[in-house]
Copies of this chain bind each other. A is one copy, B any other.
């Protein structure tokens, strides 16, 4: 019943509410009442709302980035000098995410949704924090992607990485809602692992698509750009 209890309760509540409603739309009063702690506790333990946001990210991103580093190490050993393939790189990433110890069954989906929000909501402080805190595993992943797709120009690769990020963050972040739809419409149940198994081939195929042409296909009558 020491400090840690309050701190963790705040982090749990904040994580869930941020993922559900976004950062600006979640007030400290919502967080503290969900966490059943006093309003002032946030500023006492974290200093400010922005610092709380950083702490929420740090709590899952720090262990994840450690797991990822180890997984990349193993992968490179296994490949024995040769650059890993795109499929291998993507699988290592998803497996690291999926295999992270979760606080509850919603863990992965919250994790993904928060990452998506971080990218999407233009919270300057957050982007700066993430960039300077986790630049290493990020750039290592980028390097692996680069080596796995030597046929792509830097610009093409850059945009396709954004497309991958988008498909992943978006899908995982709304996977709860999407699974509901799927259950109702198609009567199927899907685990996060199965979604990942569908996602990786999609991403790999997109990454390895023929070089983008800058005009529409010949059948189209309307010229573009």
Residue from B21, B119, B206 within 8 A of A122 (CB atoms): B21
For residue A78, give the distance in angstroms from its CB to the closest CB of chain B. 7
In this assembly, does A138 line the interface, its C-beta being within 8 Å of a C-beta of chain B?
Answer: no
This protein's copies in its complex: 2
Interface range on chain A (Cβ under 8 Å from partner): 35 or more
| 10 residue pairs A–B, Cβ–Cβ below 8 Å | A25-B121, A91-B216, A92-B220, A95-B220, A120-B173, A155-B188, A158-B182, A163-B167, A205-B205, A205-B209
Question: A92: which B residues are within 8 A, CB to CB?
Answer: 220
Question: A219: which B residues are within 8 A, CB to CB?
Answer: 78, 85, 88
A206 to B204, CA, bound (A): 7
Q: Is there contact, CB below 8 Å, between B22 and A217?
A: no
In this assembly, does A1 line the interface, its C-beta being within 8 Å of a C-beta of chain B?
Answer: no
